[in-house]
Structure 1
């Protein structure tokens, strides 16, 4: 894999080591995947008012997007997570999201927002990925 994941000793550690502070990528193909939301193929909301279920659907949609370009979670170098309820995300949504990345955590930012495109969405995830 052309990515080097760094957590310098002189910088604070990622909480639970679930993300990398720095990801260095060699030149290669880049993919910037739009925000994935908790909709199924027919645009039905999955997991209304259920943070964990919405995160699972978002990650399923992300996997479908990666599959479409022949990429995997290991290619993801940048992750932005937007949530309308930070406390619920930390309690219920964090584990299914970070399980997706397991051994190759990307550089990550978690943002609390007032609202997403549909008021029923609790979470949205966008990523950038690179293949050498």
Structure 2
């Protein structure tokens, strides 16, 4: 079965529509959610130079993506977190991000990077969810 690609209206559109926000693959049902950044659905940056505000927006976008496919945080099995400021993430964003999962924490990778797609982004998160 071919992959199903989704770009829900509740999320910001990919610049140039060069990637899908969500890709569905068969095998339980796996949901591969593209890197979520701190943009609202109108592509406006939320929380310039504010780690906590950016983490909240990123995880809000993760929730919108999960809602679009009928999944929840408990279905996330893998998360990749990219940050341009590890110290600020650890003190201002870590608890906010991981609190999203409650009692169902996923496997996780946290990476410090020199820069994200927009130099104003402090954090980006991609997840894999499995449901069904």
For the criterion TM > 0.5, the same-fold answer is yes
Partner Cα separation in structure 2 for residue 78 and residue 99 of structure 1: 15
SS of 2:39's partner is: coil
1:34 matched to which residue of 2?
34
Using the TM superposition, give the Cα deviation of residue 95 of structure 1 relative to its aligned residue in structure 2, in angstroms.
1.0
Partner of 1:50 in structure 2? 50
Residue 103 (structure 1) aligns with = 103
Q: Post-superposition shift, 1:120?
A: 0.1
Q: 4+ residue stretches of structure 1 with deviation over 6 A?
A: none
Query: How far apart are residue 71 of structure 1 and its match?
Result: 0.3
> Larger RCO: Structure 1 or Structure 2 (Cα < 8 Å, ≥ 6 residues apart)?
1
SS in 2 for 1:63: helix
Superposition RMSD in Å: 0.6
What does 1:59-74 correspond to in 2, within 5 Å? 59-74=59-74
How many residues align structurally?
A: 106
Q: Any stretches of 5+ residues in structure 1 without a counterpart? A: 1-26
Residue-by-residue CA offset, 1:80-119 (whole Å, 9 max, x unaligned)? 0000000000000001101101100000000000000000
- What are the ranges of 5 or more consecutive residues in structure 2 without an aligned counterpart? 1-26
